Amino acid sequence: MTPQTPVDVTALVQAMTLDEKLSFVHGSDDPEALGQSGYIPGVPRLGIPELRLTDGPAGVRMKRKTTTALPAPIALSCAFDDELAARYGEYLGHEARAKRQDVLIGPMLNVLRQPFGGRNFELYGEDPLLVTAIGTAVVNGIQSQGVIAMPKHFAANNQEENRMTVDTVVDERTLREIEFPAFEAAVRAGAGAFMGATNGVNGHPSCQNETLLTTVLRDEWGFEGWVMSDWDAVHDTAAIEAGLDQEMPDGAHLGEPLREAIAEGRIDEAVLDRAVARIVGQMARFGLIGDDTPRPETTRDAERGRALALEVATAGSVLLHNPRGVLPLSADKLTEPGPAAHGLAVIGRPAAVPKTAGVGSALVVPEHAATPLDVLRTRLGDDAVEFRIGEDPAGRPIPESALVPAFREGEVPAGPSTEPDYFYEGELTIETEGRYRIAVTALGGYAAIDLEGHPRVFAGSSFGDTAGLTVDLLPGTYKLVLSALPMPNNPVHLTLGWVTPQQAQADIDEAAEAARGARAAIVFAYDELAELIDRPALALPGLQDTLISAVAKANPNTVVVLNTGSSPTMPWLDDVAAVLDVWYPGEAGAEATDALLFGDANPSGKLTQSFPVDADHTSVAGDPLRYPGVDGRVEYQEGIFVGYRWHDEHAVAPLFPFGHGLSYTTFGYEDLRLTARGRELKVTCTLRNTGERAGRETVQVYLGSSPDVPAPQAPKALAGYATAHLEPGATTTVDIVLDARRFEYWNTDTGTWTVAAGPRTVSVGRSSADLPLTATVHVDPAGTVSP
C-alpha cells in the first residue's frame, strides 16, 4: 500500500490549475462508462490517474454487468463472525480491483434504529458493539486489497422516508454510544474516505455539518481521509468549508458555483486545496499515484466469490422457530412410498425467482443464481415436488377486455435518453371492486407505472426488476401509463401483468390444495426492502400472511423460509412448524437454504435485530415525531434505548429477541469464571454440545447497568461474543475479553467517556433473553475491574 517514492501531495496540489483542482471535488462522467457509481478524471499530466468509486456493501455493483452477489450485510452480521466479515471485505476489495475500481463505497455503518428502514438489509444490526466489530473487519478486508473503503452514511442515517430533507434531532450521548462507535472505529482502522448522509443532524445537513465533519471526525478522531457527499446531499458551496471534500454525483455546488465563490472571494482557494490534498493524499497512500508503483493486475475469482457467498448465507441464516423438530427435513421420509400424492409442496415466488438481494445502490446482479425449486427438485426428484406460486407479484397478462389498447410485451431499444421514453398508454377497466395488483417487469433497464390517482412506481435494476402497486379499486376506467428508460447499451424488455382479487384467491386455494396432498410444505416468503422507500408496514407484503395461514391449515408440517431484509410480523407463527430466515442470501442462497433445510448444514446464525411483535411494540411507536418525523424533523426520543435495550428497559417482549437463533443440536453453558485484567475483564465459560449433531454456537456476554450511576443505562448491553464449533458431546473453553470502553458511558456533563463504577452483572448465554450464567463484578471509579 505504501508507494516506493513518497508523493509530495502539497507540491502536486500547487502544480494544479484551478480547473484541475475543481475536477477532484465533484463527480464526472466516466468516459469509459464502466458502470460504477462515481468517477474523478485525475490529472494525467501530473501522473495522477482517474479515480473510480463503486457501490457497495453487498458486492461490487457495476450497473448492468454481472458480479458476485454476496448475501446482504444483515446476513453477514448474523454469523457473529469477525473473521468471516474480514474475508467478505477482502472479497469486495479483490473484486473491486478486478473491475478497475479504486474506492468501494461501503460498508454502511449506521445502526438499525427502527424496523421500517428501507435499507435495514444493508446494515449490521442494532447493537453498536457488533456493528463496530463487523464493520471494522469489512473495512480492513477491503483495504487489505489496496482499495479505499468508504464507510457511510455519516451520520444518523436511519430512515429512507424523507431522507433528503429530514433533520434528525438526537442527543449527544445517543450519538456517542449508539451511532458513532462504528464510524470512530473505522477511522482508527484507517478508512481512507467517508460518505456523508442525506439527512440533517441537529439542524444542519450532514454533508455541511461542521460539528460532524470537522469537530468530531477530524479534530477529535483524527481522520485524515476525505469525505464525499451522498448523491445530491450538498445544498450549497459552504459544504466545503464545513469539511466536505467531494460532491456527488456532479458539481451542482462544488463545480461552477464554487469557482464563482472563489473568484468573488467568498471562499478561500486554500479551502479547495485542502479538499484536493485530502483526496490526493489518500490516492498516494494507497499507491494509486507514482510511476514506480504499478498496481498488479488482479482478475476476478468468481469461484471464490461463490464459495464465500455460500458460506456466509449458510452461517448467517437464522432458524427462528422449530418447536416440534420438523426441521431438518428427511429426503427419505418425504419420498418414501405412501398415500401422499407427492412429497413436498413448494410455494411462493422466491422459490422460482430467487430473491438474492435488496434493492437500490446495494443491488448486485449475479451471473447465475439457482432457484430453490430446482435445487429441491434435484435433491428429491421432480415427481416429489409440487410447485404453486401462491402469491404472484409479477401478475398475469391483462386481457384485452380490461385494457385498451392491448398491451404487447416488448422491447424499447437501447438509447442515450435520460428521461423516460413514452412507451404505452391505455385505459384499464375494472368491473368488480376489490384489491388489484398492477405490476411491471423491466429487464435490462427501467420502467415506471402511472395509474391514475396513485403514486408512480419504478421497476428496474435499482428498484428490483418487478415492481407493482397493490390497490383497492372501484369499478370504473383508469388511465394507465407505462414509461420505459433503456440503458445506453441495453434495450429494456417490458412485461405488464395484473392479479385480480379472484386470481389472488385462486392462487391461494391452489397452494393450500397442493400442501394438503403433501407430507410437508415449504412457503418461501419475502419482503421488498428498497433504498428510497421505507416499509409501509411490518407485515409481509401482499397476501402472503393469508397464504401462509391457508397453507399451514392444510398441512401441519408447514415450514416458512423467509427472504427478508428485516423483521416481518408473523400472525401465523403458532400455526407453522418452522421458520428459517435466510435473508437476501446472494447468489448461492438456494444451495444454502437447501443444505439448512435438510440438515447438511446446521443453522447457527443469531438475530442482530429484535423482531417486534407488531408496529405498536417498538421504540418508535406512539408518536410520529419518533418516526417518520413531523414537518421534516424526527426526534430520537428513545435515546440510547435502541433495539433490545428498549425492549429490556420497558419490559416489552419481542417476537424474537436479539441474539436468538436455534440449532439442530443443543448447547450447555457451565462454569463461568471472571478474571480481572486492570480495566479489562476476561470472561471464561465451558460450552458443551449436549445434542446429537455437530454445530456452531455464538456465546454472548452482556453487561448490566450500574446502580451507582445517575444517568440512564441499558439494563444490559452486548459486551463481547465468540463462536465455537463443537462435535456432539464435545466441550470447549471459551474466553471473551471485555475492553475498558464496555465499563464506560458518555457523560454529557463533562463531554467525556466516564467509568460507570459500581457493581455490574455479567451474563453469558445463547441470546439476549436466555442467559444461563451470571456473576457480578465491581468496577471502581478509575475503571479497575474486580470479580
Rounded least distance, CB 252 to ligand BGC, Å = 15
Site string for ligand BGC, 88-127 (x = CB under 6 A): -----------------x----------------------
Contact 355/644 with Cβ under 8 angstroms?
A: no
| Interaction between residue 221 and ligand BGC (CB under 6 A) | no
| Interaction between residue 56 and ligand BGC (CB under 6 A) | yes
Rounded least distance, CB 151 to ligand BGC, Å = 11
Cα–Cα dist 486/749, whole Å: 57
Distances (CA, A) of 428 to 76, 121, 431: 44, 36, 10
137: nearest Cα among 181, 92, 89, 179: 89
Considering the candidates 167, 230, 527, 594, report the single residue annotated as catalytic. Answer: 230
Q: Measured at the alpha carbon of residue 409, what is the angle toward residues 484 and 483, in degrees to the nearest 5?
A: 15
| Interaction between residue 246 and ligand BGC (CB under 6 A) | no
| Interaction between residue 497 and ligand BGC (CB under 6 A) | no
Nearer to ligand BGC, 386 or 531 (CB): 531
Backbone φ, ψ for residue 109 (5° rounding) = -105, 15
Beta bridge pairs of residue 29: none
Rounded least distance, CB 154 to ligand BGC, Å = 12
Rounded least distance, CB 674 to ligand BGC, Å = 42
Residue nearest to ligand BGC (CB): 361
Sequence-distant (6+) residues with CB within 8 A of 297 are none
Cα–Cα dist 634/170, whole Å: 9
Nearer to ligand BGC, 229 or 466 (CB): 229
Nearer to ligand BGC, 179 or 311 (CB): 179
The 103-105 sheet, strands edge to edge: 38-40, 51-55, 103-105, 148-149
DSSP structure class, residue 218 = I
Query: Do β-strands 667-677 and 680-689 pair in parallel, antiparallel, or remain unpaired?
Result: antiparallel
What DSSP line would sit under 630-665, residue for residue?
BTTEEE-TTTT--THHHHHHTT---SB-TT--B-SS
Backbone φ, ψ for residue 685 (5° rounding) = -150, 170
Rounded least distance, CB 278 to ligand BGC, Å = 19
| Interaction between residue 54 and ligand BGC (CB under 6 A) | no
Backbone φ, ψ for residue 261 (5° rounding) = -60, -35
| Interaction between residue 152 and ligand BGC (CB under 6 A) | yes
Nearer to ligand BGC, 105 or 736 (CB): 105
Rounded least distance, CB 469 to ligand BGC, Å = 23
Rounded least distance, CB 455 to ligand BGC, Å = 19
Number of residues that bind ligand BGC (CB under 6 A): 8
Distances (CA, A) of 384 to 372, 513, 518, 519, 595: 14, 15, 9, 10, 18
Nearer to ligand BGC, 105 or 318 (CB): 105
| Interaction between residue 231 and ligand BGC (CB under 6 A) | yes
Interaction residues for ligand BGC, span 601-620 (CB under 6 A): none
Nearer to ligand BGC, 58 or 582 (CB): 58
| Interaction between residue 55 and ligand BGC (CB under 6 A) | yes
Site string for ligand BGC, 376-415 (x = CB under 6 A): ----------------------------------------
Site string for ligand BGC, 20-49 (x = CB under 6 A): -----------------x------------
Nearer to ligand BGC, 361 or 768 (CB): 361
Interaction residues for ligand BGC, span 357-376 (CB under 6 A): 361
Nearer to ligand BGC, 108 or 240 (CB): 108
Q: Is 739 considered catalytic here? A: no
Residue type at position 181: P
Cα–Cα dist 705/713, whole Å: 6
Rounded least distance, CB 312 to ligand BGC, Å = 21
Sequence-distant (6+) residues with CB within 8 A of 116 are 159, 161, 534, 535, 536, 538, 620, 627, 628
What DSSP line would sit under 122-158, residue for residue?
GS--S-HHHHHHHHHHHHHHHHTTT-EE--B-BTT--
Cα–Cα dist 78/317, whole Å: 7
Rounded least distance, CB 127 to ligand BGC, Å = 22
Cα–Cα dist 589/243, whole Å: 42
In the structure grid, which three cell numbers stand for residue 427, read together? 385505459
| Interaction between residue 230 and ligand BGC (CB under 6 A) | yes
Site string for ligand BGC, 298-337 (x = CB under 6 A): ----------------------------------------
Q: Which residue has the cell 456452531?
A: 696
Cα–Cα dist 342/518, whole Å: 5
Nearer to ligand BGC, 229 or 763 (CB): 229
Rounded least distance, CB 533 to ligand BGC, Å = 12
Nearer to ligand BGC, 13 or 58 (CB): 58
Interaction residues for ligand BGC, span 510-529 (CB under 6 A): none
Contact 199/168 with Cβ under 8 angstroms?
A: yes
Q: Measured at the alpha carbon of residue 615, what is the angle toward residues 613 and 621, in degrees to the nearest 5?
A: 125
Just list the catalytic residues. 230
Q: Which residues bind ligand BGC (CB under 6 A)?
A: 37, 55-56, 105, 152, 230-231, 361
